Structure 1
Amino acid sequence: MIAPRPSFRDIPLYSPAKKACRVDLSDNTNLFGVAPAAERVLREASPALLSRYPRGYAPDLRGVLAERVGVGPEAVTTGCGSDDVLDSALRAFLEPGEVLAFHAPTFVMMPLFAQVNGLRVRAVPLRDDFDLDVESLLATQAKVLYLCSPNNPTGTVLSRAAVERVVERAPGLVIIDEAYAEFAAGPGFMDLARNRPNVLVTRTFSKAYGLAGMRVGWAVGAPALVAEVEKARGPYKLTTLAEAMAVAVLEDDADWVAARAAQAVMNRERLREELVALGLRPLPSEGNFLMVPLPGASRVAERMRELDVNVRAFQALPGVGDALRIGSAPWPLMEAALTALREALR
């Protein structure tokens, strides 16, 4: 057998504990249906598309996104989900052996991407109020700093003041992951990507836009940054169908997306009330999910799977401990999850 490089041997496959369940609230995807414009594109697509490469670097989608954000197309990059953009950015700006720093807890794929790319990591715990420990993060002197707001898995948001201090003093690139921006109350940090030369803001069509199965992500940054990410990602990361669907939803279904996001937020807060009534204390959230600290969360999640409901369990998270992450969905699915949770807690 040909051996992999030593730093690659112990990398696990991404395989969170789950099984096929009637109710799956573990991935934070949009369970409110498919945008009509995306469904129309799928229905009208020509089979001839299947035998041809897509256009390189998704020019149609870049153009539409650029217009909406208020930048030129050269300031927008796309990828096979926003995690592809994140991975490409690490390859573009860090040599093997250099340091990636991020707050903890955060998106579970970041340590994995670091290991795949031969990087070292520095994880800096969030403060007790779930904001950034700015001085400790900057003290890592990492050439790339990764921030996530609303943060996955906690749902909490980072303060404007803390993020701006990091951006002003960072020695290199600051990546701000806004996969859940459409559910947040505030405006987010896209203006920093427009105005600062060292900021890359990533977003996705996998959550509010309901296109998780099509794998469409994007980012905005200074054209010089974006050009390097584009080189790292390669030309054909978006299929013709995925690009067409994303463009159609942006152009024709903005109201549909906003309405579904609002419904997810409403059901998230309704779920919070039910969990508090059970004696639980969910964290503040501006995502389409709640994180619920709960000792023995993995055992509870396994019992819930036996009852045909899948949620995500985390163990020993910094500042949180064991916890369940429960996605927001149409209320009948939330009722099924609550029924399973009550049974699992007995």
Structure 2
Amino acid sequence: MSTSNIDMTTDRLTFARALYDAVPLYDPKRAPVDLDLTDNTNLWGLPPHAERALREIPVARITRYPSLYAAELKEALASFVGAKPEYLVTGCGSDDILDSAMRAFGDPGSVVASSEPSFAMIPIFAQMNGLTYVGVPERPDHQPDLDALLAAKPRILYLCTPNNPTGALLTQETLERAVREAPGVVFIDEAYAEFSGVSAVELAMRVDNLLVIRTMSKAFGLAGLRVGYGIGAPALVRDVEKSRGPYKVNAMAEQVALTALREDMAWVHAHVALAVENRERLAAALRDRGYAPLTSHANYVCVPVAQAIAVGQALRARGVAARPFAGLPHVGDTLRISVGPWEMLERFLVAFDDATANVYKGVTS
């Protein structure tokens, strides 16, 4: 004999946590297309030595558990960012670091404040962890409204630099004030730092309330292997490590990431430079068409485009995808276009010209 644990009036499990009722599954609603410029990953592919390591990984690395807390990877990452290994924590992508850090430092109901627009998962992670999310629209100069953010008295203050989706870089003055005046911990998301050449890592080694979060998904081309890391004071990253638990970087990901850091840095630097060059070339091509792309310090271009949702749909109908955003503060509708090899961007521009011509004539396909 079985009994139902489903509340038929709400279609939910009777023993489920109520706070999860409002938590959506992440669904970007992106059907596959021939040319996808939505993810800001490395469109040049995998670094060559990392690819070799992926193909040649010993079976024994897969049949056994990975290292507890990725000590060897921490050493390589510390060398890369100019820190000490004890200032590092690793995880299954930067998402894992963010989620674990919210659990580590947020008591139920405490405030997570974020400038908007920014990384869409922040309010979701806050909900998942029983925290209160406060979003504050950025200023017209695309800097965070720090007065309003600090007025929320956040236990966790989240800022992204270069910011996603605008590509704006946080000023040093804003960063230092945030760390100085925040009542709790400051998270600085540097997923795109390699493309800006600017980082808060040095500051994170001097204070005890700053966690810099980074990833190997973008410049290193390892998005599918999910390797993220954070840099902060040893006491701070220890608590994040307690929250995330052991074995969170799988053995294959650790081996490939180590190889990339040790043998592929020339490739990574060369393709970062190519991304920056093509970013500026794409922005110039858009300006030539009468558009005003935002200044970007990342590997994408965010450009105001009227009826961006319709334009995005028309692009998809032509086998090309860019990420549309509706009604960004002080900007309006925009498209965010990942940067890759120029032949990809040339194809985007051809599709973009055709899509906008049709949308603005009232035809979407």
Q: Residues of 2 paired with 1:300 and 1:121: CA distance? A: 31
Kindly provide the amino acid, as one letter, of the partner of residue 84 in structure 1. Answer: D
> What SS is found at the alignment partner of 1:54?
coil
> What SS is found at the alignment partner of 1:195?
coil
Q: Counterpart in 2 of 1:6?
A: 18
Query: 1:298, 1:314 within 8 Å by CA — same for their partners in 2?
Result: yes
Q: Please point out which of 185, 202, 207 is paired with 1:191.
A: 202
> What SS is found at the alignment partner of 2:27?
coil
Confirm whether residue 243 of structure 1 aligns to residue 254 of structure 2: yes
Give the alignment of 1:113-132 within 5 angstroms.
113-132=125-144
Deviation at 1:330, TM superposition (A): 0.5
Kindly provide the amino acid, as one letter, of the partner of residue 267 in structure 2. Answer: W
Confirm whether residue 270 of structure 1 aligns to residue 270 of structure 2: no
Q: Please point out which of 106, 117, 126 is paired with 2:118.
A: 106
Query: 2:62, 2:252 within 8 Å by CA — same for their partners in 1?
Result: no
Deviation at 1:205, TM superposition (A): 0.3
Query: 2:308, 2:325 within 8 Å by CA — same for their partners in 1?
Result: yes
Confirm whether residue 341 of structure 1 aligns to residue 334 of structure 2: no
Query: 1:81, 1:204 within 8 Å by CA — same for their partners in 2?
Result: yes
Q: Counterpart in 1 of 2:183?
A: 171
Q: Counterpart in 2 of 1:219?
A: 230
Deviation at 1:71, TM superposition (A): 3.4
> What SS is found at the alignment partner of 2:340?
coil
Query: 1:176, 1:202 within 8 Å by CA — same for their partners in 2?
Result: yes
Q: Counterpart in 1 of 2:55?
A: 43
Q: Counterpart in 1 of 2:3?
A: none
Q: Counterpart in 1 of 2:101?
A: 89
Q: Residues of 2 paired with 1:160 and 1:221: CA distance? A: 18
Q: Residues of 1 paired with 2:354 and 2:140: CA distance? A: 31
Give the alignment of 1:143-162 within 5 angstroms.
143-162=155-174
Cα shift readout 1:285-339 (whole Å, capped 9, x = no counterpart): 0000011112211111111011101111111222222111100010111111111
Query: 2:194, 2:272 within 8 Å by CA — same for their partners in 1?
Result: yes
Q: Counterpart in 2 of 1:72?
A: 84
Q: Residues of 2 paired with 1:14 and 1:48: CA distance? A: 34
Query: 1:125, 1:319 within 8 Å by CA — same for their partners in 2?
Result: no
Q: Please point out which of 148, 162, 175 is paired with 1:136.
A: 148
> What SS is found at the alignment partner of 1:315?
strand
Kindly provide the amino acid, as one letter, of the partner of residue 46 in structure 1. Answer: P
Q: Counterpart in 2 of 1:297?
A: 308
Q: Please point out which of 323, 335, 349 is paired with 1:324.
A: 335
> What SS is found at the alignment partner of 1:158?
coil
Identity %: 50
Kindly provide the amino acid, as one letter, of the partner of residue 267 in structure 1. Answer: N
Q: Counterpart in 1 of 2:360?
A: none
When residues 57 and 27 of structure 1 are mapped into structure 2, their CA distance, relative to the original with a 3 A threshold, is same
Q: Counterpart in 2 of 1:22?
A: 34
Question: Which deviates the most, 187-196 or 66-75?
Answer: 66-75
> What SS is found at the alignment partner of 2:150?
helix
Q: Residues of 2 paired with 1:282 and 1:313: CA distance? A: 14
Deviation at 1:49, TM superposition (A): 2.5
Q: Residues of 2 paired with 1:42 and 1:90: CA distance? A: 32
When residues 136 and 341 of structure 1 are mapped into structure 2, their CA distance, relative to the original with a 3 A threshold, is same
Cα shift readout 1:55-78 (whole Å, capped 9, x = no counterpart): 111111011122333433221000
Kindly provide the amino acid, as one letter, of the partner of residue 206 in structure 1. Answer: S
> What SS is found at the alignment partner of 2:205?
helix
> What SS is found at the alignment partner of 2:114?
strand
> What SS is found at the alignment partner of 1:174?
strand
Q: Residues of 1 paired with 2:79 and 2:215: CA distance? A: 17
Deviation at 1:47, TM superposition (A): 2.4
Kindly provide the amino acid, as one letter, of the partner of residue 280 in structure 1. Answer: Y
Q: Please point out which of 229, 232, 241 is paired with 2:243.
A: 232
Q: CA RMSD in A?
A: 1.2
Q: Please point out which of 74, 85, 93 is paired with 1:62.
A: 74
Structure of greater Rg: 2
> What SS is found at the alignment partner of 2:186?
strand
Kindly provide the amino acid, as one letter, of the partner of residue 230 in structure 2. Answer: A
> What SS is found at the alignment partner of 1:163?
helix
Confirm whether residue 306 of structure 1 aligns to residue 317 of structure 2: yes
Deviation at 1:54, TM superposition (A): 0.6
Q: Residues of 1 paired with 2:82 and 2:281: CA distance? A: 35
Q: Please point out which of 299, 317, 320 is paired with 1:288.
A: 299
Q: Residues of 1 paired with 2:78 and 2:274: CA distance? A: 27
Deviation at 1:243, TM superposition (A): 0.7
Deviation at 1:277, TM superposition (A): 1.6
TM-score in terms of structure 2 length:
0.92
Question: Which deviates the most, 8-17 or 228-237?
Answer: 8-17
Q: Residues of 2 paired with 1:342 and 1:70: CA distance? A: 44
